[in-house]
Each structure stands twice: as C-alpha cells, then as structure tokens.
Amino acid sequence: MFMTTLKFIAIFLLVAPTATSSNLTEYHYEQENDNNNVTVDSTLVNTQNFTLPAFEYHQHESDYIENLTQPTAAFEHNNNTTAKEEDTNHHADDAQETKDGIHQRGGRRERVHDFIDKQLERSSDEFAEFRDNDETVDNIFSSYQEIFERNYESTQEKRLRRSLFKKHLMNIIKTNSNSNLAHKASINAFSDMTVEEFNAQKKGLKIPKNSKRRLDNDDDNDDDRLSRSSREDTRNRYRKTAERHGHARHTSPSLDWVSLGRVTSVKDQLQCGDCYAFATMAVLEGLWMNTAGNLVDFSPQELTDCSSAYGNSGCNGGFFTASIDYLNSNNGSVSLWSDHNDTSVVGTCLMSTMTTPYQFGTIQYAQVSVGDEAQLLKAVNQGPVWIGINADTSTFMYYSSGVINLNSSACSPNSIDHAVTLVGYGNNPVTGLDYWKIKNSWSAEWGEDGYVRIARGKNVCGVASYAFTATVS
C-alpha cells in the first residue's frame, strides 16, 4: 500500500488535423511509497475526446487539488450551523440528502455513492479507508467506470485516471466532513479529469482587456480615484438605463424565475468552452417570455458558430457584449435550439438558412456596477441576469448541494472565468445565509439539478463583479 502524491507537468499542443498529427498528451507524475522512495513514471494519454484551446498551453502544478486540511483559515463559517442544515423553502432541493450531500434523485452520482456506502459499511474512518486501501478504491473506481461509461485508451491512461479519481474522492470526503462549510460535494462526470481538461471543456468566459483592468483595479483604496470615478460612472449609466426601462426600485424578499416559468431546462455545454453562449441565451429566453408570453429554447450553438467576427472565439471562449452585438447585426434574430442544436464543436453558421428566426429588434444591455450586489438584486427582479463568476476552484468541480460561501482568499472576486445565469435569490432560515440562485450549463446531473447557490452580500466568487442585463425597446 502506498499514498500517491501527484505532481503534474502537462503540455498540450494542438495542431491542425493531419495524417501525422498526434492527440497524445504526456503526463509526468511522481509516486511516493511508504519508504519515501520516489519513482518517476510517465504515460501518453489520448486526448482526442477533449476539446482543448487551439494554442500551445503550458501548465505546471505541484498540487492541483486544493488542500482542505486547515479549512477554518480559508472558509467563512456560521458558528451556529452546519452544512447539513438546509433551507426549508428552497423548491424542495433540500428535502432529503444522504450523508454525502447527494440529492436522492436516482442519477449516476447517486448510484456511485450508493456503491461507496456499501464499500464502507465496516469502516469507521472513510478518509483512512480510501488513503490506505487500494482494493476499496479499485472497486469504487470500477463502479464509476461502469456507471459513467468510461472506456480508456490504454492501461496507462486508466492508471492515471484512477489516480486522479482517488485524489478527487479524498478531497470530496474532506469537504463533506468539514462542518465549517455550507455546501456539499459529490462524485460526478468530472471525477476522473485533470483540472486542465475541466477548465478547457466546462468554462469559456474571455473578459475583454478593458473590463479585466476594471476588475483588477476594483478595490476600496481611497487613493484610487480613477477606479472610484469609473465605478460611479457605471452606476450612473445603469441607473439611467434602469429608469428608462422601468426597473423596480423595490425588491421582494425572495425570487425564483425557474418556478415562475421564465427559465428553460438546464443544458450541457459538453466539451466546448462556450459557457458565454449558454448564459446569453438563457437571459434572452427569459426576456422573450416576458415580452412575448411564451418560453422557448434558443440556440447557444448559433453564437458559438456565428459570432467570431464580433469578438467571440467559438469553443475557446467569448463574452456577453460580443454576443449581443452579433445578434443586433441581424435585427436581434435568434434561432431555436431545435434548428441549431448543440454539437460541442464550432460548425458552419446556419443563421442564413433559418426560415423563422425569433426577432427581438435591437437588444440593449447595461452592466451592473462592479461588486454592487444591491444593484444586482434590483436587476434580477426584472428577469434572469448574465453574470461571470470565479469557478477556478475544486468547489465548483465537485459541488452537489448547499450554499457556497468562500472568502476572497479562497475564491477571488476578480478572477472571473465562467459565465452563468442568475435566476433568483433567497434566504436559508436555518443557517441564516442569504444566497443567489444560479443556472449553470454543466447538465442537470451537476449541483442542485444543474443549479448552484452562492452566498449573497459579500460578492462571493465575484458573483457581482461582471454582470449584465438585457432589455428591448
């Protein structure tokens, strides 16, 4: 038996497909056994099933999984509560949980955790069981492979994926045993992936340089007059836009646009970094329902395929304003999901062949002041809001349920890398946490049926750092 410590040096190089091009990625990792003897091994992993950025990518990580052994220094804590205490009025999401925080809905995550429970029936220390008993890990990993239909290219790749799975699994156990946290984690479709693969496939927000500078400079330094002036200008512009379009001055104590019928089903961006497209279309779906009275599924693939001339980069990222600028060039015409469905790759733009596109006319947008959650609250009372968040943490990779309540050192509000849709807010009367309800694009198997709750009031993970509203005349 030995404990495996992984240290990765991964180099991804993608070239135009040719007869001799390779899809192999070389991973080097060290294994430390009980005698502290370190052996170096390497393997070539076929990455042809993964859509990675079309540029040379170097990533050097010494410990890619977050160390949660001392969580009190990194996480906010409500001393009177634990993560198992759930919001009694949160659309039945918290009605029943297993000890691992997995919602009992019969999906693939639940089947894996049911198998884990059986493996641990005689164990008094879950963490030690996974750390020291390779047979237990092998059994659980075999179950994971079967349930999630994993077929690896080689024995070497399987060995790597099993090592990744064990690291992720132990991190999940640490999270779920930490009573300081208000959320839970679980095994899911990402549990055998490297962080690089996860980031390339499941994110895709590229913030323009001028906006990125505003985020980096958005602190409360009294000497930063330019930054403060910029924020005030943004507030004034938003205030005028809100007044022009009748944004309410008063807000309700809780709101859920999902239950009110202005949000379509959760989608899956598959292996394409086009989260920006899914979040944009989710906002427009809510806007169409509000103006036309019917809820329809619009096509994120249209933005992925058609908007590169306006600043987006297909599966390699994009942003909200470029997407709206593209749509406005076609009189606000939007195609349906059924006419232009998701393919996980950049394809031919089909907009010119659409016979009955939905037309908004000119779509207007306004940015919420950076970090202003009071303004964000008013904005979401008018409909779903496009927001960027910092999802560059294993918390999002494993998230299953509860309210993410990390402090800025654990999840910087300035490092925005993923686009999602704000669809409501509420309060957990047991924990006392106010939260935002957010629609993601990682399938309904992730999180709370595809949604995540993030604590409200402290700009957790940058939830109010890069937000936009949309209106029509």
Q: Which domains does the chain have, with CATH numbers?
A: 8-200 (1.10.287.2250), 209-472 (3.90.70.10)
Query: What is the chain's Cα-based Rg?
Result: 23
| pLDDT score, position 74 | 29
| pLDDT score, position 146 | 92
| pLDDT score, position 338 | 86
Q: What is the DSSP letter of 368?
A: P
What does the alpha-carbon distance between residue 69 and residue 86 come to, in Å, rounded to a whole number? Answer: 24
Active-site residue list = 275, 418, 440
| pLDDT score, position 180 | 92
Asked if 279 contacts 421 with a C-beta cutoff of 8 angstroms, the reply is yes
| pLDDT score, position 33 | 38
**Across the 473 residues of the chain, what is the mean pLDDT of every consecutive 10-residue run?**
33 31 38 34 39 29 29 30 36 36 56 72 66 85 93 95 94 91 94 94 88 55 37 47 44 93 96 96 97 94 94 96 95 88 77 75 96 97 97 93 95 96 93 96 96 98 98 88
| pLDDT score, position 258 | 98
185: CB partners within 8 A, 6+ apart: 101, 171, 172, 175, 176, 395, 398, 399, 400
| pLDDT score, position 216 | 58
| pLDDT score, position 229 | 39
Sign of the CA dihedral with 267 first, then 268, 274, and 275 last: positive
| pLDDT score, position 116 | 73
| pLDDT score, position 351 | 74
| pLDDT score, position 217 | 58
DSSP alpha helix (H) spans, 72-224: 108-119, 126-132, 134-147, 155-176, 195-202, 209-216
| pLDDT score, position 3 | 34
